[in-house]
A and B are shown apart, each in its own frame.
Chain A
Amino acid sequence: MTFFSHLRKAAIATAFVLGATAVHADEQYFPLQSYRVGPYAAGGTGFFGGFIDYLNLINIRDGGVNGVKLTWSEGETQYEVEKGVEVYERLKSTPGIAAWNPLSVGIAYAMIDRITDDKVPLITINHGRTDTTDGRVFPYVFPLLLNPYSETSGIVNYIASKEGGLEKLKGKKIVVLYHGSPYGKETIPIYELLSQKYGFELSQIEVPHPGNEQQAQWLTIRREHPDYVVLRGWGVMNPVALKTAQKTGFPADHIVGNVWSNSEEDVIPAGDAAKGYTAITTQASGEQYPVVQEIVKTVYGAGKGNLEDKSRIGSVYHNLGIVNGILNVEAVRIAQAKFGNRTLTGDEVRWGFEHLKLDPARVEALGAKDLFHSINVSWDNHEGDGYVTFQQWDGKKWNVVSDWIAPDWKLLRPIIEKSSEAYAKEKGIKIRTAEDADAVVSN
């Protein structure tokens, strides 16, 4: 990416910001708290690039959603919470906001009370606090597809499938290497619970932020001789983990990465040390899916593609952005079917998300068969029972190596409800009913 291409992007972004201040009657607006510079820019450019590419596809190919044009503007956050909140304050008054999609745990946490007052959905696809799954307590927050507990369950189920069944986990040893942050620590109790339930030996080891030094942790792992290591990393911690594993003689094909350790950016810097490494994902990577092909043909063909480097089309973060685009657009479409083909209020879009049911047939119709499995959101289940799959790095690309796997939602739900109800009690929040969820603010 060159200096001039950055200038061009900045000019386009500015034009969108200026344009966005005058949203017309038939426009639905997406404020984007993106991060295209700073330590996490590689993920930000991929995700927001995919999201914008999909919105562009809908506008160019379909003329918008039922004639309602999709608009957006970007505010740079550098993944910093205070900048994310600044962007929120700057853009929150723009008419026709459909949903917020910050792709940042910190920014999302800072916005929960604000967007609840505004009555506008906050989408935290594949991340966020687990108990926001409970729509009875968090009406406007949607950790779509996968919350951290489901991810944990999915990983344990995958390891079990490799060993020949859940009963074969008994006596196995699993080490969880986690990032020293609230994100990293979020799954500590659920791993302990699953360890007790299935009888595997568990050791959880912290890596201090940012994780650029892990010699001590991996020597400890070597001494413990685990059967598997689960990598719950972030940023530079991931390639360093893979490289240090190689240095200490631990095989990469017995390391299973979580959903934020599953991108090209996590493995390319590790070079050969990453070969054979497997990671969980909710969406497959690659360009072969019809919707990605359409984006290449229609959006990039028209010179409106968002990724400067076209080799990143179909990468993990780009495809996550596309799937996020599909979920946002379909929520708007579902809400339009009830409230009319016009600019919707945030609360109407919230209703759309709470009825976001895309079965495999609908996913195929959207050109996303095998890109992601399905989603089934309801007023009280804001995650939507996303399925997961596992991909293995061969040194050049990810290859899917498992079927779609269902986390153990029944096991997790009571734990989630216990946590959300405690939050409701602490904050004095009235627990919603189905009738409350159907009451929609339309102006």
Chain B
Amino acid sequence: MNYYDFLFAIEVLVGGLLSGVMYSLVAIGFVLIYKTSGVLNFAQGSMVLFAALTFVSLVERGVPFALSLLVTLAVMVALGFTIERTVLRPLVNRSPMTLFMATLGLSYIIEGAAQLIWGTQVHGLDLGIDDTPFEVGGILISSFDLLAAAIAAAMVAGLSAFFYSTRIGLTFRAVADDQFAALAVGLRLPRIWGTVWTTAGFVALVAGLLWGARLGVQFSLSLIVLKALPVLVLGGFDSILGAIVGGLIIGASEKLAEVYLGPFVGGGIEGWFAYALALVVLLVRPSGLFGQKTVERV
């Protein structure tokens, strides 16, 4: 391997790590809800689409950027509360599969509603972030991806502080640890779940804006859940740190695999390589690298 090949490998690795952070952004939304309610919210991708579409539609109608952001946040909070109140609360104590199927159905409803309300057109989303690359030691780095990584890092830090330094964060952790015990000591689960769904709505908004600026705001935005799923399997469904580390591993490994293994098997492997990697981890550590091991008394 000569010097240029080495630089190229580093460039692929850095690009992969930055892409991985974007996957983590979506995965965090899943983790928040799973951690506190045990629900794998398949509708997270649709929520990302809904948030981005609402925001960009408001901006295109002349609503100022900051106001659009606030209104969209309010919409996502309302959506989160509505989902909790009308879908999940009536299904309390149902099996995880029932809850998963409910969120799967919810995903289609949100996607349909987004198009019904805001139309089917695709939109460009300009966040004012320059996306021309800059060079560091012969390696091109995307300024947009770098900023996205910084935002993701800030969000993880904020959520960690929220979970570990606030009273409500403590209640979240109590619920995550044992719902029945939390109920027994007087914690109000519906209110906590409502807050969690609201937080997931906020995460969806941030992910929607960054992914929307990357892909354009269109229906396919909801497909980014497909990138988040292997991250969750690898990092663990209930660990925010796992979502970040999982995202980095998946992002870097799928890019390296595409470039260095792809040519030997016809290319186009990154779509399934992430899942293959997740499957291997699943076989070795069923709860993921950072997931909580569950012990059931039988």
Contact = CB atoms under 8 A, between A and B. Distances in A.
Nearest to B143: A247
Given A210-B220, A216-B255, A223-B8, 15 more contacts: A1-B120, A39-B219, A44-B120, A180-B268, A206-B267, A208-B272, A212-B220, A216-B16, A236-B215, A239-B122, A240-B215, A246-B131, A248-B133, A268-B122, A268-B123
Interface of A: 1-3, 6, 36-42, 44-45, 180, 205-210, 212-213, 215-217, 219-220, 222-223, 235-236, 239-240, 243, 246-249, 265, 268-271, 273, 308-309, 312
A51 B267 CA distance: 38
A209 B227 CA distance: 12
Contact of B19 (A37, A213, A236): A213
B84 interface: no
B142 A271 contact: no
B124 A270 contact: yes
A38 B140 contact: no
Interface string B112-145: 1001111111111110000111000000101011
Given A246-B131, A248-B140, A41 B219 contact: yes
A261 B240 CA distance: 38
Contact of B271 (A205, A208, A249): A208
Contacts of A42: 120-122, 218
B269 interface: yes
Given A205-B267, A236-B216, A308 B119 contact: yes
Contacts of A312: 121
Nearest to B23: A213
12 contacts: A37-B120, A42-B122, A180-B268, A215-B19, A216-B15, A223-B8, A240-B215, A248-B133, A265-B218, A268-B216, A270-B124, A309-B121
A40 B124 CA distance: 16
B259 A247 contact: no
Nearest to B266: A206
Contacts of B121: 1, 42, 265, 309, 312
Contact of B224 (A2, A40, A212, A239): A212
Contacts of B227: 212-213
Interface in B142-165: 142, 144-145
Most buried by A among B12, B118, B121, B132: B121
B238 interface: no
Contact of B259 (A220, A243, A246): A220
Contacts of A180: 268, 271
Interface in B210-253: 214-220, 223-224, 227
Given A213-B227, A236-B218, A271 B124 contact: yes
B124 A208 contact: no
Contact of A268 (B115, B117, B124, B145): B124
A252 to B, nearest CB: 12
B122 A269 contact: yes
A243 B131 contact: yes
Interface residues of B, number: 48
B234 to A, nearest CB: 17
A207 B268 contact: yes
Contact of B270 (A37, A41, A213, A271): A213
Given A236-B216, A247-B131, A270-B124, A3 B115 contact: no
Given A215-B255, A247-B131, A270 B216 contact: yes
Nearest to B132: A246
B215 A269 contact: yes
B115 A41 contact: yes
Nearest to A212: B215
Nearest to A248: B140
B56 to A, nearest CB: 10
Contact of B120 (A36, A205, A246): A36
Contacts of A219: 8, 11-12, 15, 255, 259
Nearest to B135: A249
Interface string B72-90: 0000000000000000000
Contacts of A44: 120
A118 B184 CA distance: 68
Contacts of B216: 236, 239, 268-270
A7 to B, nearest CB: 9
A247 B220 contact: no
A215 B15 contact: yes
A207, A208, A312 — which one has the most chain B CB atoms within 10 A of its CB? A208
A203 to B, nearest CB: 10
Of the listed residues B112, B117, B122, B223, the one surrounded by the most CB atoms of chain A closer than 10 A to its CB is: B122
B126 to A, nearest CB: 6
B247 to A, nearest CB: 12
Contacts of A217: 258
A266 B55 CA distance: 20
Given A206-B266, A243-B131, A216 B218 contact: no
B246 to A, nearest CB: 16
Pick the 7 closest A-B CB pairs, nearest first. Answer: A269-B216, A208-B271, A206-B268, A41-B120, A1-B119, A216-B258, A236-B220
Contacts of B142: 247
Contacts of A208: 268-272
A236 B215 CA distance: 7
Contacts of B262: 216
A216 B259 contact: yes
A314 to B, nearest CB: 15
Contacts of A268: 122-124, 216
Contacts of B132: 246
A176 B223 CA distance: 25
Contact of A269 (B19, B117, B123): B123
A270 B266 CA distance: 28
A165 B82 CA distance: 63
A247 B142 CA distance: 6
Contacts of B11: 219
A243 B214 contact: yes
Contacts of B224: 212
A54 B255 CA distance: 47
A308 B115 CA distance: 14
B6 to A, nearest CB: 13
Nearest to A39: B219
